[in-house]
Amino acid sequence: MLPRFLASVLLLTLTGVARAGEPVVVNGAGDPARDVPAVQAAVDRGGAVVLEGRFDFGERGRVTIRRSVSISGDAGDSARDPRGTTIKGGFWTFFSPLPDKLPAQQPGPQISIQGLRFE
């Protein structure tokens, strides 16, 4: 169970309630305590996730992917374009663990990540 404050941050960070087939949009706050949980909550839903702005994952922030998801952002026109989606920091920023049992009993998640810049 999330602390009330963190739950409020997630609710405010996810812009709108996504309906089936609609992407969940997450706006970067530039704060690891807000950005990592907000992106994790969106990814946990699966489907399309759009990241906008600047995210800070701190030194060790990580989002674990267990469901099929398409994560996208705006890469901007150049590496110096401040309008692009940027993720600063993190350690294995997006991670999908191997199955507990090998060989895998079922196919793993389908994962697409595009249009993001990593610092």
Q: What is the pLDDT of residue 76?
A: 73
Q: Is the pLDDT of residue 11 over 50?
A: no
- The predicted model scores a pTM of 0.78
Cα separation, 37 vs 46, whole angstroms: 15
Q: Are 29 and 51 in contact (CB under 8 A)?
A: no
Computed over every residue of the chain, the mean pLDDT equals: 84
Reference 56, options 115, 7, 8, 119; nearest CA is 119
With pLDDT > 70 as the criterion, what percentage of the chain qualifies? 77
Per-residue confidence at 47, pLDDT binned at 50, 70, 90? very high
Q: Which two tokens stand for residue 2?
A: 């999330």
Tens-place pLDDT, residues 55-92? 999 999 999 999 999 999 987 776 666 678 999 999 99
Annotate 10-37 with b (16+ C-beta within 10 A) or e (fewer): beebbeeebeeeeebbbbbbeebebbbb
